[in-house]
Amino acid sequence: MNRVSVIMGSISDWPTMKEAVAILEQFDVTVETHIISAHRMPTEMATYAANAREAGVDVIIAGAGGAAHLPGMVAAQTTLPVIGVPMKTKTLNGVDSLLSIVQMPAGVPVGTVAIGEAGAKNAAYYALQILSITNQTLVTELETFREQQAQKARESEAKLHD
58 touches ligand C2R by CB under 6 A? no
- Please pick, from the candidates 66, 86, 94, 116, the single residue that binds ligand C2R as defined by CB under 6 A: 66
Q: Which of residues 19-38 bind ligand C2R (CB under 6 A)?
A: 37-38
The C-alpha angle 108, 113, 118, rounded to 5 degrees, equals 160
152 is a contact residue toward ligand C2R (CB under 6 A): no
By CB under 6 A, is residue 112 in contact with ligand C2R? no
Task: Give the residue with the Cβ less far from ligand C2R, 87 or 124.
Answer: 87
d(CA 66, CA 90): 9
Can residue 67 be called a binding residue for ligand C2R (CB under 6 A)?
yes
Q: Is 53 annotated as a binding residue?
A: no
Task: Pick one of 64, 75, 76, 131: the residue that binds ligand C2R (CB under 6 A).
Answer: 64
Can you say whether residue 40 is alpha, beta or left, with left for phi > 0 and alpha for psi between -120 and 50 degrees? alpha
Does residue 29 contact residue 1 with C-beta atoms inside 8 Å?
A: yes
Please, what is the minimum distance in Å from the beta carbon of residue 24 to ligand C2R? Answer: 19
Binding flag, residue 47, ligand C2R (CB under 6 A)? no
- With binding defined as CB under 6 A, does residue 103 bind ligand C2R? no
Annotate 53-106 with DSSP letters as a single string: TTTT--EEEEEE-SS--HHHHHHTT--S-EEEEEPP-TTTTTHHHHHHHH-PPT
Cα dihedral: 15, 17, 19, 21 (round 10): -130
Taking Cα atoms as reference points, which of 132, 154, 153, 152 lies closest to residue 141? 132
Among 52, 87, 124, 128, binds ligand C2R (CB under 6 A): 87
Q: Which residues make up each annotated binding site?
A: 10, 13, 40
The residue ranges that bind ligand C2R (CB under 6 A) are: 8-10, 12-13, 37-40, 64-70, 87
